[in-house]
């Protein structure tokens, strides 16, 4: 059996919440989610402050690896960005709202690079803006940090087989579209409904109905994911651990319990660990007051194990 070669790593920046929260987003998204996770990890002495790594922000050039020049020019206009984020645009905006996305994307890039370099599992305490496409932002996602992270990974280490396991409640449509013509990237997603049709061999979309409970969800995951890993033989796994599958989520319509979310997360983690596949994990969606705790639970179980 193969195992990870180094201890897990974590990326977080105080920039993950500043700026955006002061602009009054029109959703139930908990803007302090990422900071709460960091604070609880320190408060409960799960990690020392020195274990939490500060990412460098992504650059416009990093964004260019995935997004078109024309779209990036539009993103430089804070009013355009505010519309994608459903911010209350009667308020004045500064150009700094993009900074949140630069830091979170920087965190995702470094999460993937470090996981691969050190042959381990790394967490970004934020990230997972999987709906953004080359020329378009949607669903609160102006830039696709996951796709940018993978593009930077290819730049640094050359072309490898990357498996994206997207278990956010919503379809990972943006990422799948961006890599639609790249069979080195396998896009696996379990969700409520397809946002786009993906014409690709190395893609698997599993649709589950409203009210799906733990047993059915976990059954589907265990039925298909190990087989994908076995056949595709990924050299890097990327996991979007969206907690909006939880029964208490204000957007999601699945009925997955707190225990079920943890079982799901640990199943994906253990699969990567036992196959010795480096894994970079991002938070994904989650729109309830319990959302921070679901990701926190996952992190402490990995760090504790
Ligand atoms: Zn989602």
Q: How far is the CA of 235 from the centre of ligand 1 (A)?
A: 26
- Digitized pLDDT (tens) for each residue of the chain, 305 residues in all: 467 878 999 999 988 875 566 555 555 567 788 999 999 999 999 999 999 999 999 999 999 999 999 999 999 888 888 888 877 665 656 667 788 899 999 999 999 999 999 999 999 999 999 999 999 999 889 999 999 999 999 999 999 999 999 999 999 999 999 999 999 999 999 999 999 999 999 999 999 999 999 999 999 999 999 999 999 999 999 999 999 999 999 999 999 999 999 999 999 999 999 999 999 999 999 988 889 999 999 999 999 86
Q: How far is the CA of 194 from the centre of ligand 1 (A)?
A: 12
Q: How far is the CA of 169 from the centre of ligand 1 (A)?
A: 5
Q: How far is the CA of 242 from the centre of ligand 1 (A)?
A: 6
Q: How far is the CA of 265 from the centre of ligand 1 (A)?
A: 15
pLDDT value, residue 300: 96
Cβ proximity of 82 and 92 under 8 Å: no
Q: How far is the CA of 191 from the centre of ligand 1 (A)?
A: 9
pTM of this prediction?
0.95
Q: How far is the CA of 172 from the centre of ligand 1 (A)?
A: 8
What does the alpha-carbon distance between residue 91 and residue 113 come to, in Å, rounded to a whole number?
Answer: 38
Q: How far is the CA of 252 from the centre of ligand 1 (A)?
A: 7
Cα 198 to Cα 154, 175, 201, 203, 227: the distances in Å are 22, 10, 9, 7, 20
Please identify which residue in the block is written with the tokens 């059954």.
219
Q: How far is the CA of 212 from the centre of ligand 1 (A)?
A: 15
Ligand 1 is an ion; residues with CB less than 5 A from it: 168-170, 242, 244, 285
Q: How far is the CA of 259 from the centre of ligand 1 (A)?
A: 19
Cβ proximity of 15 and 100 under 8 Å: yes
Pairing of strands 236-240, 279-282: parallel
Q: How far is the CA of 241 from the centre of ligand 1 (A)?
A: 10
Q: How far is the CA of 249 from the centre of ligand 1 (A)?
A: 10
Q: How far is the CA of 168 from the centre of ligand 1 (A)?
A: 5
pLDDT value, residue 298: 98
The string of DSSP codes covering the chain is: ----SS--EEE--GGGTTTTGGG-BSS---TTHHHHHHHHHHHTTSS-GGGEEPPPPPPHHHHHTTS-HHHHHHHTSHHHHHHHTTB-TTS---TTHHHHHHHHHHHHHHHHHHHHHHTSEEEESS---TT--SS--BTTBSS-HHHHHHHHHHHHH-S--EEEEE-SSS--HHHHHHTTT-TTEEEEEEESS-SS----SSEEEEE--TT-BHHHHHHHHHHHHHHHHHHH--SEEEEE---TTBTT-SS---BB-HHHHHHHHHHHHHHHHHHT--EEEE-----STTHHHHHHHHHHHHHH-
Give CATH for domain 9-304: 3.40.800.20
Q: How far is the CA of 164 from the centre of ligand 1 (A)?
A: 15
Q: How far is the CA of 285 from the centre of ligand 1 (A)?
A: 4
Q: How far is the CA of 158 from the centre of ligand 1 (A)?
A: 30
Domain ranges of the chain: 9-304
Q: How far is the CA of 282 from the centre of ligand 1 (A)?
A: 12
Beta pairing partners, 281 = 123, 239
- Structure token digits, residue 48: 């020392």
Q: How far is the CA of 5 from the centre of ligand 1 (A)?
A: 31
In the chain, the largest separation of any two C-alpha atoms, in whole Å, equals 58
């Amino acid at each position: 059996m193969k195992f990870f070669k180094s201890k897990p790593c974590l990326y977080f920046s105080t920039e993950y919440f500043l700026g955006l929260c002061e602009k009054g987003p029109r959703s139930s998204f908990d803007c302090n989610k990422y900071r709460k996770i960091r604070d609880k990890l320190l408060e409960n002495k799960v990690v020392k402050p020195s274990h939490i790594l500060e990412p460098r922000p992504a650059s416009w050039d990093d964004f260019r690896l995935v997004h078109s020049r024309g779209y990036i020019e539009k993103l430089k206009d804070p009013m355009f960005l505010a519309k994608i984020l459903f911010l209350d645009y009667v308020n004045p905006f500064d150009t700094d709202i993009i900074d949140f996305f630069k830091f979170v994307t920087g965190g995702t890039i470094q999460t993937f690079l470090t996981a691969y370099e050190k042959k381990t599992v790394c967490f970004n305490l934020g990230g997972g803006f999987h709906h953004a496409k080359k020329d378009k932002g949607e669903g609160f996602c102006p830039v696709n940090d996951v796709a940018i992270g993978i593009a930077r990974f290819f730049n640094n280490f050359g072309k490898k087989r990357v498996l994206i396991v997207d278990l956010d409640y919503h379809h990972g449509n943006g990422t799948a579209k961006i890599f639609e013509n790249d069979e080195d990237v396998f896009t696996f997603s379990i969700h409520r409904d397809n946002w786009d049709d993906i014409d690709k061999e190395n893609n698997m979309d599993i649709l589950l109905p409203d009210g799906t409970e733990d047993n059915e969800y976990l059954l589907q995951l265990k039925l298909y994911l190990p087989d994908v890993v076995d056949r595709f033989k990924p050299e890097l796994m990327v996991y979007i651990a969206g907690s909006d599958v939880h029964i208490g989520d204000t957007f999601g319509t699945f009925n997955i319990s707190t225990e079920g979310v943890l079982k799901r997360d640990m199943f994906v983690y253990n699969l990567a660990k036992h196959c010795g596949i480096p894994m970079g994990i991002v938070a994904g969606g989650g729109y309830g007051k319990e959302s921070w705790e679901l990701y926190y639970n996952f992190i402490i179980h990995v760090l504790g194990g």
